[in-house]
């Protein structure tokens, strides 16, 4: 008899783990919203960056690379741009990551001016090029995992906001006046991870959702082949997205777990920084959105059974790397679950 696993949260974390477990467990994913990926997973910039956060995230990202190439990822370059004000940040980035990512090199800024002709030359004093970056296809990625989950006999129930959890010999989980029992309860509720834990009588672990803003503009020339451009000081990035240019002020505003919405001020800051770095004058913003990137203090995810709550498995804290690490992180989580490993 396969053990029953209920996963709370139908974002990339919950769906990808469900896909990995479906072959040897009976898996049900409960998602509060009308469809999987409604929150952070449907709002990401969907880029793949190897020199990011720390060595753990680097390893998980690199271990995910080949999988992504089979699910719509397109290799690109990430160009990190420094002006006089943030040259020190570029130097710090090269000192931190240069040895771990030797393909990342300082390059002649003319490479940037040729690739992205809207850049103001006077705004740039140095450029680093990381040739290992990729543009991911978030929809194809999530849908690929969902199909794997269903093919393995698992199911995803949408419109199923869990509002009560009881612990007995098994877990009893309630949503919409319905109940489901499970041997193992997985908490993949993203920004709501601590709320779900408390509902189950489990101690919270200190998740902090941070709101990030994005907008789509038209720079007025053919940008389909442009790389990801990132300001060394961290206040701006932009990249081609859905036939337009996605611009983000790379903001991190502490937020409660909510359906995040963009603030006008953050949109204005993004436009101002974009106009200072480029020759574009933004006449029209085609779309704005915001999403939550949820971190633990160490900025590494929590993957494993709670030490004090039997059969309660954490898969949260995916921050700004949940898409790029999902293939390897879901494999790691499935292995830890099968081996009964704790946090
Ligand atoms: C603007 C932005 C840019 C980003 N850029 C990148 C990037 O370039 N690369 C990258 O790798 N990552 C990026 N990220 C981060 C990435 O999107 C997240 O790490 C990832 O989506 C987190 O996935 P998740 O499944 O943990 O959370 P979510 O996708 O938020 O899923 C959690 C789900 O749990 C559900 N839930 C919560 N409570 C309950 C309940 N009680 N009952 C049932 N369901 C519940 C929610 O409805 C939600 O759908 C970005 C994020 C944002 C916002």
Examine the domain organization and report whether 187 and 248 are in the same domain. Answer: no
Q: What is residue 259's three-state secondary structure?
A: coil
DSSP codes joined into one string, 72-124? T-EE--EEEEE-STTHHHHHHHHHHHTTTSTT-EEE-HHHHHHHSTTB-GGG-
Q: Model confidence over 102-133: pLDDT tens digits?
A: 999 999 999 999 999 999 999 999 999 999 99
Q: Model confidence over 28-43: pLDDT tens digits?
A: 999 999 999 999 999 9
Examine the domain organization and report whether 126 and 231 are in the same domain. Answer: yes
Residue 46 pLDDT > 80 = yes
Residue to probe by mutation, ligand 1, list 190, 241, 262, most atoms within 8 Å of CB: 190
Using the atom order of ligand 1, give the atom closest to the CA of residue 38. Answer: 49
Answer whether residue 87 is part of any domain: yes
Using the atom order of ligand 1, give the atom closest to the CA of residue 318. Answer: 19
Average pLDDT, integer, range 316-330: 98
Average pLDDT, integer, range 47-70: 98
Check if 45 has its Cβ closer than 6 Å to any atom of ligand 1. yes
65 Cβ contact partners less than 8 Å away, ≥ 6 residues apart? 48, 132, 134
Residue 322's pLDDT band, with cuts at 50, 70 and 90, is: very high
Examine the domain organization and report whether 283 and 158 are in the same domain. Answer: no
Q: Model confidence over 170-185: pLDDT tens digits?
A: 999 999 999 999 999 9
User: What is the predicted pLDDT for the residue at 2?
Assistant: 65
- Domain with 32, as residue range(s), is 4-43+138-207+297-338
Examine the domain organization and report whether 288 and 183 are in the same domain. Answer: no
The rounded radius of gyration (Å) of the Cα atoms in the chain is: 21
pTM score, whole prediction: 0.97
Residue 190 pLDDT > 90 = yes
User: What is the predicted pLDDT for the residue at 313?
Assistant: 98
Nearest CA to ligand 1 atom 25: 11
Answer whether residue 65 is part of any domain: no
Residue 1 pLDDT > 90 = no
Residue 192 pLDDT > 70 = yes
Check if 253 has its Cβ closer than 6 Å to any atom of ligand 1. no
Burial 18-34 (b: 16+ CB within 10 A, else e): bbbbbeebbbbbbbbbe
Examine the domain organization and report whether 85 and 120 are in the same domain. Answer: yes
Answer whether residue 62 is part of any domain: no
Using the atom order of ligand 1, give the atom closest to the CA of residue 9. Answer: 34
Check if 213 has its Cβ closer than 6 Å to any atom of ligand 1. no
Examine the domain organization and report whether 161 and 144 are in the same domain. Answer: yes
Examine the domain organization and report whether 143 and 287 are in the same domain. Answer: no
Which two tokens mark 249? 């002020």
Answer whether residue 162 is part of any domain: yes
Q: Model confidence over 239-281: pLDDT tens digits?
A: 999 899 999 999 999 999 999 999 999 999 999 999 999 999 9
Residue 93 pLDDT > 70 = yes
Residue 3 pLDDT > 90 = no
Length of the chain: 343
- The Å distance, Cα 118 to ligand 1 centre, comes to 32
Q: Are 271 and 282 in contact (CB under 8 A)?
A: yes
Using the atom order of ligand 1, give the atom closest to the CA of residue 12. Answer: 25
- The Å distance, Cα 244 to ligand 1 centre, comes to 23
Q: Model confidence over 159-169: pLDDT tens digits?
A: 999 999 999 99
User: What is the predicted pLDDT for the residue at 242?
Assistant: 85
Q: Are 208 and 302 in contact (CB under 8 A)?
A: no
Answer whether residue 326 is part of any domain: yes
Residue to probe by mutation, ligand 1, list 162, 293, 329, most atoms within 8 Å of CB: 293
Check if 64 has its Cβ closer than 6 Å to any atom of ligand 1. no
- The Å distance, Cα 167 to ligand 1 centre, comes to 26
**Overall domain count for the chain:** 2
308 Cβ contact partners less than 8 Å away, ≥ 6 residues apart? 202, 203
Answer whether residue 224 is part of any domain: yes
Q: Model confidence over 286-320: pLDDT tens digits?
A: 999 999 999 999 999 999 999 999 999 999 999 99
Examine the domain organization and report whether 285 and 142 are in the same domain. Answer: no
Q: How many CB atoms sit inside 10 A of residue 147's CB?
A: 12
Using the atom order of ligand 1, give the atom closest to the CA of residue 13. Answer: 25
**What's the CA gap between 182 and 160, in Å, rounded?**
16
Secondary structure element (H or E) that encloses residue 288, with its range: strand 287-295
Check if 43 has its Cβ closer than 6 Å to any atom of ligand 1. yes
Q: Model confidence over 135-156: pLDDT tens digits?
A: 999 999 999 999 999 999 999 9
Examine the domain organization and report whether 143 and 277 are in the same domain. Answer: no
Report the DSSP beta bridge partners of residue 247.
215, 238
Average pLDDT, integer, range 207-232: 96
Examine the domain organization and report whether 224 and 112 are in the same domain. Answer: yes
User: What is the predicted pLDDT for the residue at 276?
Assistant: 97
Q: At what angle do helices 138-151 and 326-338 cross, to 10 degrees?
A: 30
- The Å distance, Cα 212 to ligand 1 centre, comes to 12
**What's the CA gap between 80 and 215, in Å, rounded?**
20
């Amino acid at each position: 008899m396969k053990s029953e696993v209920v996963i709370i949260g139908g974002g990339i974390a919950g769906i990808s783990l469900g896909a990995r477990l479906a072959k040897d467990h009976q898996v049900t994913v409960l998602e509060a919203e009308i469809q999987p990926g409604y929150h952070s997973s449907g709002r990401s910039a969907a880029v793949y960056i190897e020199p990011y956060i720390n060595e753990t995230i680097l390893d998980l990202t690199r271990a995910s690379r080949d999988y992504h190439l089979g699910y719509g990822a397109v290799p690109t370059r990430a160009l990190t741009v420094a002006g006089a004000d943030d040259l020190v940040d570029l130097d710090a980035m090269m000192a931190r990551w240069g040895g771990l990512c030797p393909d990342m090199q300082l390059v002649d800024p003319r490479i940037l001016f040729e690739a992205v002709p809207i850049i103001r030359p006077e705004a740039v004093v140095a450029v680093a090029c990381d040739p290992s970056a990729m543009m991911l296809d978030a929809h194809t990625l999530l849908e690929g995992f969902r199909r794997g989950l269903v093919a393995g006999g698992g199911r995803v129930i949408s419109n199923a906001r869990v509002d009560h959890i009881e612990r007995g010999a098994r877990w009893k989980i309630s949503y919409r006046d319905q109940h489901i029992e499970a041997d193992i309860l997985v908490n993949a509720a993203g920004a709501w991870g601590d709320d779900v834990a408390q509902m189950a009588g489990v101690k919270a672990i200190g998740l902090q959702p941070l709101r990030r803003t994005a907008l789509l503009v038209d720079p007025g020339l053919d940008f389909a082949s442009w790389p990801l451009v990132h300001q060394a000081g961290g206040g701006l990035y932009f990249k081609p997205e859905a036939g337009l240019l996605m611009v983000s002020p790379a903001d991190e505003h502490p937020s409660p777990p909510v359906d995040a919405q963009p603030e006008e001020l953050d949109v204005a800051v993004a436009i101002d920084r974009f106009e200072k770095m480029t020759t574009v004058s933004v006449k029209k913003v085609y779309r704005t959105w915001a999403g939550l990137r949820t971190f633990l203090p160490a900025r590494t995810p929590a993957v494993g059974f709670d030490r004090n709550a039997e059969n309660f498995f954490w898969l949260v804290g995916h921050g700004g790397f949940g898409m790029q690490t999902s293939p390897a992180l879901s494999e790691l989580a499935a292995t830890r679950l099968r081996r009964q490993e704790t946090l």
